[in-house]
Amino acid sequence: MANEARAAWLREHRPALTGALARTGAVLVRGLGVRTPLDLALVRDALGLAEAPGQERFAPTTDLGGGVSSAPEWGADREMCLHHEQSFGVRAPRVLLMSCAAEPTTGGETLLGDTRAMLRELPADLLARFRAHGWRLERNFRPYIGLPWSTAFGSTDPETLDAYAADQRMAAEWRPDGSLHTSQRRPAVARHPATGEECWFNDAAFFSQWSIDEVERKVLLSSFGPGGIPFNTALGDGTELTAAEWQSILDAYDAVTVRVRWRVGDLLLVDNILTAHGRAPFQGPREILVAPADPVPVEGI
């Protein structure tokens, strides 16, 4: 489909698409042939959505221009746990636009989970503690271990990083050994800015030490101690999650997860607050384009 025809169709059906997105949290559109970064940027613009600037990264991505990037680089043999885009920031995109430029041979489905339903699936006592205290993300950046801070924050200038940390209300400490430690506390449950519904909105499970392969985790802990591993999470009061609590969050995610099998040209709209997203393992080529849009303040939702 030509860009002009695609844009006209999107403008005509915008009320139906946005209404469905608010009800269900995700909308899959087939037949529009959204294959390139330019195609996806034009879709965003036709839907009247503002570009959401990139912030802190947890994995390498490729900037494709126009507010579009590649999906995060993540081992094809590993499942990517359900998570949210930038839930650890002070601002997060309300909408993620995704399209498929190349579909894998097997697997690679995008995993989607209703965060309203998550509140019903989580253990009541654990949910109450997250409501009361929020959640905390701790990261350590050191040479040759994990993602370099320059990649995570898109700068090689420590002063620029310090300014970004202040803007993000993120504690940043440069340590004597040259490593960087960051910490940020955010709410764990949010109200959707349009619907007012409560949603589980955090990445406490995704960045937990328990998400690291057991052998790798033991090596990291023996080398750097529990406060020195590349990333970890806790409740906002600093209480670390037990392995059982982490597993209970994964079990709740499993209970609400649906799978989306990609075809080339597909367009997927995801409400980043109503819906957590992840990725199944895959074989063969898989090229998904991502355009975050409509930034909203995390503290205000």
- What pLDDT is attached to residue 48? 96
Number of C-alpha atoms within 13 angstroms, CB side, residue 87?
30
Higher pLDDT among residues 226 and 30, named by residue? 30
Give the model's pLDDT for residue 100. Answer: 98
Higher model confidence: residue 294 or residue 143?
294
Note the pLDDT of residue 301.
Answer: 63
User: 166 — phi, psi (to 5°)?
Assistant: -65, -40
Residue 300: what pLDDT?
64
pLDDT (0 to 100) of residue 177: 84
Q: Who contacts 128 (Cβ-Cβ below 8 Å, separation ≥6)? A: none
Does residue 49 surpass a pLDDT of 80?
yes
> How many CB atoms lie under 10 A from the CB of residue 125?
8
Structure tokens at 297: 């303040």
Query: Exposed, middle or buried by CB within 10 Å (0-12, 13-18, 19+), for 183?
Result: middle
Q: Which CATH number fits domain 3-79+92-114+264-295: 3.30.930.10, 1.10.600.10, 3.60.130.10, 3.40.30.10?
A: 3.60.130.10
**Mean pLDDT, rounded, for 265-272:** 98
Write the CB contacts of 218 (distance below 8 Å, at least 6 apart in sequence): none
Q: What is the mean pLDDT of residues 110-114?
A: 98
What is the structure's pLDDT at 299? 78
Q: Are 101 and 35 in contact (CB under 8 A)?
A: yes
Q: For the chain, which residues make up each domain, given as ranges?
A: 3-79+92-114+264-295, 117-252
Q: Which residue has the higher pLDDT, 5 or 82?
A: 82
Q: How many residues does the chain have?
A: 301
Q: Is the pLDDT of residue 73 over 70?
A: yes
Summarised one tens digit per residue, pLDDT across range 93-105 is 999 999 999 999 9
Q: Given this model, what pLDDT does residue 228 score?
A: 87
Is 90 exceeded by the pLDDT of residue 225?
no
Dihedral sign for Cα 24, 26, 29, 32, please: positive
- Average pLDDT of the chain to the nearest whole number: 95
Condensed to tens digits (0 to 9), the pLDDT of residues 187-205 reads 999 999 999 999 999 999 9
Has residue 227 got a pLDDT over 90? no
Average pLDDT over residues 244-261: 98
pLDDT given for residue 1 in this prediction = 73
User: What digits encode the pLDDT tens for the residues 4-44?
Assistant: 899 999 999 999 999 999 999 999 999 999 999 999 999 99
Residue 256 has pLDDT above 70, yes or no: yes
Q: What is the pTM of this model?
A: 0.95
Domains 3-79+92-114+264-295 and 117-252 share a fold: yes
The CATH superfamily label for domain 117-252 reads Clavaminate synthase-like (3.60.130.10)
